[in-house]
Amino acid sequence: MIDFVMDFVLVLFATLRDVLPILVVIIFFQIVVLKQPIPHLKKVILGGVYVIIGLALFLMGLEKALFPVGQIMATQLSDPEFLGTTLGGPSDWRSYYWIYIFAALIGFSTTIAEPSLIAVAIKADEVSAGTISQIGLRVTVALGVAFALALGTFRIVTGTSLFVYIMAGYIIVIIQTFFAPKKLIALAYDSGGVTTSTVTVPLVAALGLGLSSSVPGRNPAIDGFGLIAFASLFPIITVLGFAQIMELKTRLFKIKIKKDEI
Amino acid sequence: MDLIPIIVVVVFFQSVVIRQPFPQIGEVIFGFLFVIVGLMLFIEGLEIGLFPIGESMAYALAKKGSLVWLLIFSFVLGFSTTIAEPALIAVAKEATVISSSAGLIESDEKTMYNYAMGLRLTVAVSVGLAIVIGVLRILKGWPLYYLIIGGYILVMLMTIIAPKEIIGLAYDAGGITTSTITVPLVTALGVGLATVIKGRSPLTDGFGLIAFASLLPMIFVMLYGLFWF
pLDDT at A66: 72
CA distance B63 to chain A (A): 10
Q: Is B38 within 8 Å of A59 when comparing Cβ atoms?
A: yes
Q: Is B46 within 8 Å of A122 when comparing Cβ atoms?
A: yes
pLDDT in tens, B71-84: 999 999 889 888 87
Q: Is B201 within 8 Å of A183 when comparing Cβ atoms?
A: yes
Quick check: B98 contacting A, CB < 8 Å? yes
CB proximity list for B192: less than 8 A, separation 6 or greater: B54, B55, B56, B57, B58, B59, B62, B206
pTM: 0.85
Residue of A nearest to B69 (CA): A33
CB atoms within 10 A of CB B28: 18
CB proximity list for A163: less than 8 A, separation 6 or greater: B159, B167
Distance CA B38, CA B183 (A): 17
Distance CA A182, CA B136 (A): 19
Give the CA angle between residues B134, B140, B145 to the nearest 5°.
55
Distance CA A2, CA A32 (A): 43
CA distance A197 to chain B (A): 6
Specify whether the CB–CB gap between B174 and B159 falls below 8 A.
Answer: no
Question: What's the gap between Cα A210 and its chain centre?
Answer: 20
Q: Is B31 within 8 Å of A66 when comparing Cβ atoms?
A: yes
CB atoms within 10 A of CB B152: 21
Quick check: B33 contacting A, CB < 8 Å? yes
Rounded mean pLDDT of B127-137?
93
Q: Which of A62, A70, A228 lies closest to B172 in CB terms? A: A228
CA distance B49 to chain A (A): 4
What is the secondary structure of A11-77 as a DSSP string?
HHHHHHHHHHHHHHHHHHIIIIII-SPPTTHHHHHHHHHHHHHHHHHHHHHIIIIIHHHHHHHHHHH
Quick check: B25 contacting A, CB < 8 Å? no
Distance CA A150, CA A152 (A): 5
CA distance A257 to chain B (A): 24
CA distance B165 to chain A (A): 8
Specify whether the CB–CB gap between A181 and A107 falls below 8 A.
Answer: no
pLDDT in tens, B112-126: 888 888 988 999 999
pLDDT in tens, B157-210: 988 888 877 787 788 777 777 777 788 888 999 999 998 888 888 888 889 898
Cβ neighbours of A169 in B, within 8 Å: none
Give the CA angle between residues B21, B17, A76 to the nearest 5°.
65
Residue of A nearest to B74 (CA): A25
Closest CA to A209 of A196, A226, A189: A226
Q: Is A58 within 8 Å of B35 when comparing Cβ atoms?
A: yes
pLDDT at B134: 93
Closest CA to A185 of B135, B205, B127, B141: B205
Q: Is B49 within 8 Å of A50 when comparing Cβ atoms?
A: yes
The amino acid present at A119, given as its one-letter code, is A
Cβ neighbours of A182 in B, within 8 Å: 143, 145, 204
Put residue A225 in one of left, alpha, beta given phi > 0 → left and psi -120 to 50 → alpha: beta
What is the secondary structure of A183-234 as a DSSP string?
HHHHHHHHHHHHSSSTTHHHHHHHHHHHHHHHSTT--HHHHSTTHHHHHHHH
Q: Is B206 within 8 Å of A128 when comparing Cβ atoms?
A: no
CA distance A109 to chain B (A): 5
Q: Which of A69, A102, A115 lies closest to B180 in CB terms? A: A115
pLDDT at A194: 83
What is the secondary structure of chain B as a DSSP string?
-TTHHHHHHHHHIIIIII--PPTTHHHHHHHHHHHHHHHHHHHHHIIIIIHHHHHHHHHHHHHHT-HHHHHHHHHHHHHHHHHT-HHHHHHHHHHHHHHHHTTSS--SHHHHHHHHHHHHHHHHHHHHHHHHHHHHHHHHT--HHHHHHHHHHHHHHHHHHS-HHHHHHHHHHHHHS--TTHHHHHHHHHHHHHHHSTT--HHHHHS-HHHHHHHHHHHHHHHHHHHH-
Q: Is B49 within 8 Å of A61 when comparing Cβ atoms?
A: no
Residues 82-121 of A with CB under 8 A from B: 82, 98, 102, 105-106, 108-110, 112-113, 115-116, 118-120
pLDDT in tens, B33-62: 888 888 889 889 888 888 888 888 888 888
CA distance A174 to chain B (A): 6
Higher pLDDT among residues B142 and A226, named by residue = B142
Q: Which of A58, A61, A98 lies closest to B17 in CB terms? A: A98
Higher pLDDT among residues B137 and B164, named by residue = B137
Residue of B nearest to A28 (CA): B73
pLDDT along chain A (262 residues), means of 10: 77 80 83 78 87 87 75 70 52 73 87 88 88 90 93 86 86 90 88 76 73 73 74 92 86 77 68
